[in-house]
Chains A and B, each alone.
Chain A
Amino acid sequence: MTLSLTRRLVLPVLVIVTVALSMLVLFAGGSSGASEQAQVISSTVTAAQQHTTPPAAYQTTRANAGTANSTNTVYVNGKLVAYGNSDITYVNPPSSLIPLGEALYAQNCASCHGNSADGVPANGTPGAFPNLRGLGSATIDFWIESGRMPAKDTTQVQALRKQQVLSKPEALAIAAYVTSLSPATPYIPVVHNISSANTSEGFSLFALNCAACHTITGGGDALASNTYAPSLRHIPATQVAEAIRTGPGNMPRFTGNLSDAQVRDIVAYVTLNIQHPVNPGGFGLGGLGPVAEGFVGLALGVGILALIAFWIGDRS
């Protein structure tokens, strides 16, 4: 009798354990694992647009909004090397890195973006191989430090965020070199005193400007035409600020509509609150909300109740 009971329990227990394990694998630790791997990132500007847009198109006239029009500016030998204020300082990599950057550029970038960094007409993939001149060192630094450049597969609509190919000093050197070809801002942002920023204000600004695409939990989501907004988990503060100021890929460029103080608040909210979510239940289930939670509740909760009822009862 006991033996046959045990046998009858084997299948349902296996099913429940399998479901529970797959839940844990899928959802434990947020969306950092599986979804990040499946994602692909991008550059879909028409090549012509990149070629013809003058540098001024990427700038704002508003003070303290990421351009040289800031509270403090530092010039060395007549060249702007840093600017900013107590919220964010934008710093260009030292010009001593330019020779190294030139060599690294020739090795890693020139085959796609051209020997003079003014882009190569995209062949097949719309927006691939854009003009890099007039973009400012923040743009160059973001794409390299986030591991998206050098791109692994140039036929992808959106370049993949991956393990960095080039080290941080190498990224800075290339940024120094490319920026020296056609001086432009924004420089690489250094966000000050993140822990004392106004995260409440950061939340409001995030909800208004970022959550539409990245979702309110920062998990990222699909967009149109095979593009997607990437997850904001594990993104360093510098890259968050760089992305806001430069608008990589299909992300809008937030310049004059966000002051440096506001960008600092957003960076604080993303790096302090979003990247360290409080999950009282133990698992965030990817921050997907009631669908994922309801699914787990049904599968585990009702499943376990059904098993218990199965055990207590008796067939007649």
Chain B
Amino acid sequence: MTAEHGTPVSLSTASPDDPHMQPLARNPQRTERLIALAMFVGILGIVGFGVAYWYNANGWVYGVTLGGGITLLGFGITAWGKYLMPKGPFVEERHELRGTDEEREVFAAAVVQRGGGILGRRKLLAGMAGLGLAAFGVVAAFPLIRSLGPLPKKTLDETDWTKGSYLVDSTGRPVQVGDLAVGGIVTVFPKGYEDTENGQAVDQTVLIRLATTDYTTRPGRETWGPAGYVAYSKLCTHLGCPVGLYEQQLEKLVCPCHQSMFDVTNGAEPDFGPAPRPLPQLPIYVDGRGYLRAQGGYEEPVGPGFWERS
């Protein structure tokens, strides 16, 4: 950037021999030829796109020909402007933006006096417009008020698991005591709810086999783990993600969202991560025909905490 070039001048007063009027290119003929070459190749590309389209070529051919063609043309036009036009920089002074006093008075008279008079002449329509806006304001508040209710009542505390519910997999097949090997896991639902929205949202439960004999995960839950099967809610107590990652050797369930880890041998007590509470355990039993069934529903709400529950 030389000093004489860097100072802006007015284009209208610049003489043809002014350095600002010279192109940026040192050798304009050569630059012109180069730019022409680039544009020519670009034109070939665009024509090539037509040919490719005619012959129904692969997608990438369209991209290369049309994209390349337009890019080269654009390059040529930009380079033309940059290297061959007068290099400048130029400035042009703006005219006075403020109107004259006379113009301003005429405008004010037109808007305030004449316009006001015309509007005031139609009091009925002005009133209608005002009423319409007021009605709209009231109606617009409805969705806001509606979103405050109804109260969820007991729906947050209960699931579809009831006494005697069969544990079925996602296809509706009831799980039998011999199905899982030790180290196996299956996501189960209460029979009849495996395809329902609520079933998939809140009833989903992981059934894990920890051993071949009855398994007690906590004092007081001696009958909850028949034949080594334990069942926990699949909803993370942190934010409700499905806790589907089971590490069978570590005997831990991991939540994919925030890496909470639950110890399935110890009532799904969280031993890492942000989950505040253990996963609720579903008490189950094996019926006379070998099917796994629920002793009852969950004893505590499943999923993350809500306002009545810290």
Contacts and interface: CB of A to CB of B under 8 A. Distances in A.
Interface of A: 1-2, 42-45, 53-54, 56-62, 65, 127, 204, 208, 212-213, 223-225, 227, 247, 249-257, 311-312, 314-316
22 contacts: A1-B26, A57-B181, A57-B182, A57-B211, A60-B179, A60-B181, A61-B178, A62-B176, A127-B249, A208-B187, A212-B256, A213-B245, A223-B247, A224-B247, A224-B254, A227-B247, A254-B184, A255-B179, A257-B185, A311-B78, A312-B82, A314-B82
A212 B244 contact: yes
Contacts of A59: 181
Contacts of B242: 212
B187 to A, nearest CB: 6
Contacts of A315: 1
Nearest to A213: B245
B182 A62 contact: no
B115 interface: no
Nearest to A57: B182
Contact of A61 (B25, B179, B186, B246): B179
Interface size class of B (residues with CB under 8 A): 35 or more
Interface of B: 1, 6, 8, 24-26, 78, 82, 89, 169-170, 175-187, 208, 211-212, 242, 244-250, 252, 254, 256, 259, 261, 272
A255 B248 contact: no
Contacts of B245: 212-213, 223
Contacts of A43: 249
A306 B289 CA distance: 71
B182 A252 contact: no
Contacts of B180: 60, 255-257
A257 B171 CA distance: 10
Main secondary structure of the interface of B (DSSP, over half): loop
A247 B26 contact: no
B25 A2 contact: yes
A127 B250 CA distance: 10
B184 A253 contact: yes
A57 B212 contact: yes
A50 B15 CA distance: 95
B16 to A, nearest CB: 20
Contacts of B184: 247, 252-257
Nearest to A53: B182
Contact of B246 (A127, A252, A256): A252
Given A44-B249, A225-B250, A247-B184, A312 B178 contact: no
A61 B249 contact: no
B24 A1 contact: yes
Contacts of B8: 316
Contacts of B177: 61
Contacts of A61: 176-179
Among the interface residues B177, B178, B212, B272, which one has the most CB atoms of the partner chain A within 10 A? B178
Nearest to B184: A253
B248 A250 contact: yes
Contacts of A60: 178-181
Contacts of A53: 182, 212
B17 to A, nearest CB: 18
Contacts of B179: 60-62, 65, 255-257
Given A1-B26, A255-B181, A257-B184, 9 more contacts: A54-B212, A58-B183, A59-B181, A61-B178, A223-B254, A224-B259, A227-B250, A253-B181, A311-B78
A56 B228 CA distance: 13
Contacts of B1: 315
A257 B248 contact: no
B3 to A, nearest CB: 13
Nearest to A245: B181
Nearest to B5: A1
Contacts of A223: 245, 247, 254
Contacts of B252: 224-225
